Amino acid sequence: MKFRCERDVLVETLGTAGRAVSTRSGLPGLSGVQVELVGDQFTVTGSDLDLTITTTIEVSGESDGKAVIPARLAADIVKALSPGAVELSTEDDTLRISAGRSDFSIRLITSDEFPKITDIDAKPVELDAEQLAHALKQVVLAASSDDSRPILTGVLLAAEGDSLRLVATDSYRLAMKDIDGIELLSEGEQVLVPSRALGELHRILANGKSITLRLGEKEASFTVEGVTLTTRLIEGDFPNYRGLVPDHHPNTLTVNRTALLDALRRVKLMAPQEGTPVRIEMNEHGMELVAVTADVGTAREVVESSYVGEDLVVAFNPRFLLEGLEVAPGDDVTLLTTDELKPALIKSVGFDNYLYLLMPVRVS
């Protein structure tokens, strides 16, 4: 294999595929990326068995070939080279990287230690990349990062009428988004996609306008502008999220989202430790945010708002509240509550396709 390519293009390509490379696997093959040159098409694949990222670029090819190279080392070397053209070539068990006066020779990884990557045999579906990226940003944040509850580390994709519904929950909050006009799954059909893969997909989506999705029985793949991300699907039953969303809330607070976010960020300064709640005091005059840290101090801020309901004080983890408000669409949001212990619902005024459900913190 031998080709020439611009350094910056190669850095981005190795970096993108390298994001799927395992950093803590005991298998030597998984610390590498597979590189393949066919004509002028150079393809790099990284995988940790759960997530695989393949990216293809056009280069000036001289001779075809295929090898597995150390992912981190190769990326670091290319990144450190002077700007301009870089030449990569393999011979026997060595990869040679040269640019200007720099010349590196590094040992290849045995090819048979790299996992076999197969294409998903499923009908491709085209989605709007920007629309999906926006939905992922709103939902993925609510997925759990706790690997001991693997079901909760996934984002549910389900058919909902003529929409595609995305749902994620870490048991403390739940985010749900419907993307209208996408008939990806049959009614009643649903899949659970690892949130880590969708987080990586969100990065890639910035590069394209359209995304091609293939849903297999155990895997899903997403292709955007020469980059294909393939992920294993999570097996198991997602919690019955429909039963978690209350259909009746006697109390409704309506507030400007930006004003609430700004006030919350200020008040949160007095709740610096994870777990210190911020209270929302609601009455006929509107709302007041309060944060108290014993031995440190108190923060209070009145936020202009309208409230219909009984006087109520409800407390939340400020991080969860902030994250939900940050991704909610529109100018105004409503906070729908039942009492100080039952789930509260954040919805955007004028947007019915997104909701954020949040459990309060019990305070004395």
Residues in contact with other proteins by the rule CB under 8 A: 24-26, 146-148, 169, 171-174, 239, 244, 275, 277, 317, 341, 343, 357, 359-363
Q: Which is nearer to other proteins, 22 or 348 (CB)?
A: 22
Residue 351 backbone phi and psi in degrees, to 5: -130, 110
- Residues 6 or more apart in contact with residue 324 via CB below 8 angstroms: 142, 173, 175, 346, 356, 358
Determine the Cα–Cα distance for residues 280 and 132; give it in Å rounded to an integer. Answer: 33
Q: Which residues of 337-362 are buried (b: 16+ CB within 10 A; e: fewer)?
A: bbebeebbbbbbeeeebbbbbbbbbe
Q: Strand, coil or helix: what is 129?
A: helix
**At closest approach, how far in Å is the CB of 95 from other proteins?**
27
Residue 317 Cβ vs other proteins, minimum distance, rounded to whole Å: 6
Nearer to other proteins, 147 or 352 (CB): 147
Closest to 129 in 3D by CA, of 205, 236, 66, 187: 205
Instruction: Tell me the two tokens of residue 311.
Output: 């006087």
Nearer CB in complex with other proteins: 188/275:
275
The end-to-end CA distance of the chain, in Å, is: 69
Closer of 148 and 186 to other proteins (Cβ): 148
Minimum CB separation from other proteins for residue 90, in Å? 30
Strand order in the sheet with 286-293: 297-303, 286-293, 278-283, 312-316
Q: How many residues would you count in the chain?
A: 364
Q: What is the DSSP string of 156-180?
A: EEEEETTEEEEEEE-SSEEEEEEEE
Closest distance of CB 343 from other proteins, Å: 6
- What minimum distance in Å lies between the beta carbon of 84 and other proteins? 39
Q: How far apart are CA 158 and CA 77, in angstroms?
A: 43
Instruction: Name the 3-class secondary structure at 148.
Output: coil
Q: How far is the CB of 271 from other proteins (least distance, A)?
A: 13
Closest CB to other proteins among residues 1, 312: 312
By beta-carbon proximity to other proteins, the closer residue of 110 and 171 is 171
The tokens of 249 are what? 């809330």
Select 49 or 302, whichever has its Cβ closest to other proteins.
49
Instruction: Report whether 18 contacts 27 (CB < 8 A).
Output: no
**Residue whose CB is less far from other proteins, 28 or 100:** 28
Residue with tokens 């209070």: 300
Q: Cβ 4 to other proteins, closest distance in Å? A: 38
CB of 71 to other proteins, least distance (A): 17
Minimum separation from the CB atom of position 261 to other proteins (A): 21
For other proteins, the closer of residues 40 and 146 by Cβ is: 146
Q: What is the spatial distance between Cα 163 and Cα 177, in angstroms, rounded to a whole number?
A: 10
Closest to 313 measured CA to CA, from 274, 278, 355: 278
Nearer to other proteins, 114 or 356 (CB): 356
H runs (alpha helix) in the chain = 7-18, 71-80, 129-139, 195-205, 257-267, 318-327
CB of 239 to other proteins, least distance (A): 5
